[in-house]
């Protein structure tokens, strides 16, 4: 089957937008591959971040209940694995695999139980929590809107969990989703113009060319354009928000051949080679239509964020990646990726901006792929994705939270969307 090349104007949105280069010096050349050599002598291996992520996934399976999280020590280039319960055999297996082992008191089950307590007793708009494997605790964050009785309630819940299980901190900003009016991906709604950013180009389950973006963008409008007053070029196929924050949007032209790259500005791009799991401590890069390219560090996994909805309630999203990478309105849906081209996340929301900093949360790509049935990369013309790395990335990942809060494409403008200002 013949395919016509994606129009130049459309190609600009197909890779997350071409904007000023901010962190490209760190992107090129790619990181060195991990050090070869067996770990029979139990000496920690030197690892690239992507290899550390893969090792963490494997150890989480083999160590079972003894595995209590892991993080990447970027200075030493080593994976640090937490082992709970005093299982000497688990410690030995982790060391033989090449990890640095740290014995901790809180098991994964205990940390998850703490998170459930927070969900039941402290689902307050403007709060979030995530497991920090570096401290082996749940870190609870309250934004500037959490005051008075809500602050007292949150403090009380954290106090009951105990200082050895949870910590509480304040954020100067306000948690919000990052959709806004402007350029990049555009949609018209009852509330005005909405702007978001494209995440990663994919092939839908039926072989159609498509892309991933944020769910709160997908429920805001059913059709999207690549220019503010232009005709629609893509239609929402699936969108979920709250619960998860993911959307699959198909190109209206079935012959579209959108590149599996992220444009990082100045004529440079990063080829996306497959889905990748986030690892606490690893360096990641974010591209967005408002603020361009920025980098930072993964600070937490399986994060829960309670966004303030426009109706005065709370829009809770779970299973997110927490980072210290900045973002601003309009960056929603944009790609989070690694230096060597691993697709990690889709920008959801957070607090702060790219002047003050703050926390930003991302929907894991692995969850989005499983939920939508899509594969990374363009179709090869026979309904199969050309990206060989996508399948492995889709088989690993966190819990699938796609079941809650699914909206029909083109749903009316409502909770969780940021109006044009």
pLDDT of residue 284: 96
- Angle (deg, nearest 10), helices 49-63 and 88-96: 150
pLDDT of residue 321: 98
- Residue 233 makes CB contacts below 8 A (sequence gap 6+) with 10, 13, 224, 225, 226, 251, 252, 253
- Collapsing DSSP states into helix, strand and coil, what is residue 358? coil
Torsion of CA 340, 263, 368, 415, to 10 degrees: 140
pLDDT of residue 15: 42
Set 53, 128, 216, 387: catalytic member = 216
Backbone angles phi, psi at 160, to 5 degrees: -65, -40
Residue with tokens 């020590």, as numbered in its chain:
73
- pLDDT exceeds cutoff 70 at 22: no
- Please choose, from the candidates 194, 227, 184, 182, the residue with its C-alpha nearest in 3D space to the C-alpha of residue 18: 184
**Answer CATH for 8-28+175-407 from 2.120.10.90, 1.10.3720.10, 2.40.10.10, 1.25.40.10:** 2.40.10.10
Q: Are strands 314-323 and 292-308 parallel, antiparallel or unpaired?
A: antiparallel
CB 159 within 8 A of CB 165: no
* Tens of pLDDT, residues 151-186: 999 999 999 999 999 999 998 888 887 544 333 788
Which residue spans of the chain are classified as CATH 3.30.300.50? Answer: 49-104
- pLDDT exceeds cutoff 60 at 5: no
What is the rounded CA–CA span in Å between residue 163 and residue 260?
45
- Collapsing DSSP states into helix, strand and coil, what is residue 307? strand
- Angle (deg, nearest 10), helices 108-121 and 148-161: 160
Q: Sign (positive/negative) of CA torsion 54, 55, 61, 64? A: negative
Known catalytic residue at 216: yes
Set 143, 237, 245, 263: catalytic member = 245
Q: Could you tell me the two tokens for 112? A: 């998850």
- Residue 161 makes CB contacts below 8 A (sequence gap 6+) with 114, 117, 118, 138
**Answer CATH for 49-104 from 3.40.50.261, 3.30.70.980, 3.30.300.50, 3.40.50.10090:** 3.30.300.50
Mean of the per-residue pLDDT values for the chain?
81
CB 362 within 8 A of CB 275: no
- Of residues 348 and 175, the one with the higher pLDDT is 348
The neighbour count for residue 336, using CB atoms within 10 Å, is: 33
pLDDT of residue 26: 56
CB 116 within 8 A of CB 129: no
- pLDDT exceeds cutoff 80 at 91: yes
What is the rounded CA–CA span in Å between residue 167 and residue 276?
29
What is the rounded CA–CA span in Å between residue 195 and residue 174?
19
- Please choose, from the candidates 131, 130, 66, the residue with its C-alpha nearest in 3D space to the C-alpha of residue 104: 66
Known catalytic residue at 294: no
CA angle at 203 for the pair 237 and 326, rounded to the nearest 5°: 75
Q: Could you tell me the two tokens for 337? A: 């990726």
What is the rounded CA–CA span in Å between residue 261 and residue 165?
41
271 DSSP β-pair partners: 261
Known catalytic residue at 421: no
What is the rounded CA–CA span in Å between residue 56 and residue 108?
14
* Tens of pLDDT, residues 320-333: 999 999 999 999 99
Set 128, 171, 197, 332: catalytic member = 332
DSSP 326-337: ---TT-TT-EEE
Q: What pTM was estimated for this model as a whole?
A: 0.79
- List Cβ<8 Å contacts ≥24 apart for 25-31: 26/283, 26/285, 26/295, 26/339, 27/264, 27/268, 27/270, 27/285, 27/339, 28/268, 30/339, 30/340, 30/341, 31/339, 31/340
With cut-offs at 50, 70 and 90, classify the pLDDT of residue 63. very high
* Tens of pLDDT, residues 366-402: 999 999 999 998 665 444 454 433 334 333 333 333 3
pLDDT of residue 27: 58
Which residue spans of the chain are classified as CATH 2.40.10.10? Answer: 8-28+175-407
pLDDT of residue 392: 40
């Amino acid at each position: 089957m013949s395919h016509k090349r994606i129009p130049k104007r459309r190609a600009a949105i197909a890779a997350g937008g071409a904007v000023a280069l901010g962190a490209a010096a760190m992107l090129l050349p790619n990181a060195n591959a991990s050090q070869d050599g067996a770990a029979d002598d139990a000496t920690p291996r030197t690892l690239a971040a992507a290899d550390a992520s893969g090792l963490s996934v494997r150890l989480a399976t083999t160590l079972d209940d003894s595995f209590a999280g892991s993080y990447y020590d970027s200075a030493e280039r080593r994976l640090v694995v937490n082992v709970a319960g005093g299982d000497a055999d688990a410690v030995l297996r982790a060391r033989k695999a090449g990890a640095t082992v740290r014995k901790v008191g809180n098991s994964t089950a205990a940390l998850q139980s703490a998170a459930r307590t927070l969900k039941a007793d402290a689902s307050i708009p403007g709060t979030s929590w995530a497991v920090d494997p570096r401290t082996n605790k749940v870190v609870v964050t309250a934004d500037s809107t959490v005051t008075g009785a809500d602050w007292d309630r949150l403090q009380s819940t954290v106090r009951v969990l105990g200082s050895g299980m949870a910590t509480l901190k304040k954020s100067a900003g306000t948690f919000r989703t990052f959709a806004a009016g402007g350029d990049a991906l555009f949609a018209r709604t009852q509330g005005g113009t909405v702007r978001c950013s494209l995440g990663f180009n994919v092939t839908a389950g039926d072989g159609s060319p498509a892309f991933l973006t944020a769910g709160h963008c997908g429920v805001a409008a059913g059709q999207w354009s690549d220019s503010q007053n232009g005709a629609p070029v893509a239609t929402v196929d699936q969108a979920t928000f709250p619960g998860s924050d993911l959307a699959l949007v198909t190109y209206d032209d079935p012959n579209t051949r959108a590149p599996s790259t992220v444009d990082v500005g100045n004529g440079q791009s990063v080829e996306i080679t497959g889905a990748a799991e986030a690892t606490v401590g690893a360096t990641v890069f974010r591209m967005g239509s408002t603020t361009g390219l920025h980098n930072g560090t993964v600070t937490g996994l399986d994060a829960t964020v309670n966004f303030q909805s426009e109706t005065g309630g709370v829009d809770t999203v779970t299973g997110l990646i927490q980072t210290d990478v900045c973002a601003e309105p309009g960056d929603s849906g944009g790609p989070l990726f690694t230096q060597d081209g691993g697709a990690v996340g889709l920008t959801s929301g957070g607090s702060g901006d790219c002047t003050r900093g703050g926390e930003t949360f991302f929907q894991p790509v692995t969850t989005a792929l499983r939920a939508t049935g899509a594969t990374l990369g363009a179709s090869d013309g026979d309904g199969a994705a050309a990206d060989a790395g996508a399948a492995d990335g889709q088989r690993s990942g966190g819990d699938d939270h796609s079941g809650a809060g699914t909206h029909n494409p083109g749903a009316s403008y409502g909770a969780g969307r940021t109006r044009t200002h």
